[in-house]
Structure 1
């Protein structure tokens, strides 16, 4: 049992070591490391999706009914202070509605009973304090679908730059740790690359309490996380 245990332990140690590579022109070797830096920030904008689904006996009737209610939706968005540049139609669909299949109905002859129209708009809300009231106004104006809310930052680059500083600080600290533990010196950086991440909060579903119609729907913005991972290869000297 002991030889097997030692062999397994050796395999674990080998796979957990940082990548080392010898170079024919450089006798000291190289070490490749990676580190991540993160920054959390309070969001300053939200993106929401709202729309109207209507049905009618004909495609024209379904579309006309939808058009009337969507005009109210756009008016509600503008009344909430949302600019035209922050509104965009994200989906418009007109499709037939089929009757449920019955056993005495030929399978190749589906029966159309009407038509359904769906119209969705995405909007950027920059006044988060009025977000709950804006959603309530959308529903009151005729919107019957709220797709969800996602939070973000007007200028995510500022957070990403700070995440880069944090990642570089963590990278150099890790390099010094390996150098001290391995009794070698860290040399110049041979190559370096980064990958970025921007993680908004999960989408928040809309819910309105019938017992609190006089108060705006409560919305929690939470935080968004910006992250940067740096991969670098250093020269090392024994």
Structure 2
């Protein structure tokens, strides 16, 4: 009787262990996680010019009037180059007092000498054939400052989609290769995590660069802004068959 009880206890323990072992192999958790990377190189087709127009005068109204005149000069230049002012954006408008320090009875005191009116603007140029001549014309005014020129892509969404598609194909290819090494096949996708696609911009070129363009030739050379790499990455979890 005692031996029979021991045998039954051992049998139950064995069955319990087998049951626990079977539950550890859960098909819903039988997955593979991979990262996919996609990259597309595309030619830059847009330039963004950051400009500043300012004027100083003892009278605020006079400073504003001078700044407005210089702003109109910019509008006229764009019109001469057959460029739309719709791409011109006012980013900041400032009217500030101007001071200077003067010696008075052995001490330095601050006196207001007038006002400074400034406009900060951004212009997106989509016709790069006109970039050199536009920079030359702007630098020639000597009243419109070119703070920087940066390159970009007019329609980044299409390029991002292409890079994402390449990342998806890369992830699937990697997962299929790894699964094959273990005699398995890929099942359906369990989850996907997309990382922010990268649309880089070139280092901005300063006013000195723009001024040098004006001196290079009367007509201005064609500007070549090169190409940019747009990348996307995906983390994908596949079920295994």
Query: 1:232 Cα shift?
Result: 1.2
Aligned to 1:77: 78
**Cα distance in 2, alignment partners of residues 92 and 216 from structure 1:** 31
Alignment of 1:10-49 (within 5 A): 26=27, 29-49=30-50
Q: Secondary structure at the match of 1:199?
A: coil
Aligned to 1:10: none
Deviates more, 1:201-210 or 1:129-138: 201-210
Q: For each residue in 1:146-202, what CA deviation from the matched residue of structure 2 results, as whole angstroms up to 9, or x when unmatched?
A: 121222222222212221221112111221343245554432210113232222323
The total of aligned residue pairs comes to 213
RMSD between aligned residues: 2.8
Question: CA separation of 1:136/1:23 partners in 2, compared to 1, >3 Å: closer, same or farther?
Answer: farther
**Cα distance in 2, alignment partners of residues 191 and 124 from structure 1:** 39
CA contact (8 A) 1:36 1:170 kept: yes
Given the alignment, which residue of 221, 224, 231 partners 1:220?
224
CA contact (8 A) 1:69 1:142 kept: no
Query: 1:73 Cα shift?
Result: 0.9
Aligned to 1:54: 55
Question: CA separation of 1:235/1:174 partners in 2, compared to 1, >3 Å: closer, same or farther?
Answer: same
Query: 1:120 Cα shift?
Result: 2.2
**Cα distance in 2, alignment partners of residues 224 and 100 from structure 1:** 49
Q: Secondary structure at the match of 2:133?
A: helix
Misfit runs of 4+, over 6 Å? none
Aligned to 1:11: none
Gaps of 5+ in 1: 1-21
Aligned to 1:153: 153
Aligned to 1:203: 204
**Cα distance in 1, alignment partners of residues 124 and 215 from structure 2:** 28
Bigger share in helix = 2
Query: 1:221 Cα shift?
Result: 0.9
Query: TM-score, normalised on structure 2?
Result: 0.76
Gaps of 5+ in 2: 1-22
Deviates more, 1:158-167 or 1:206-215: 206-215
Aligned to 2:107: 104
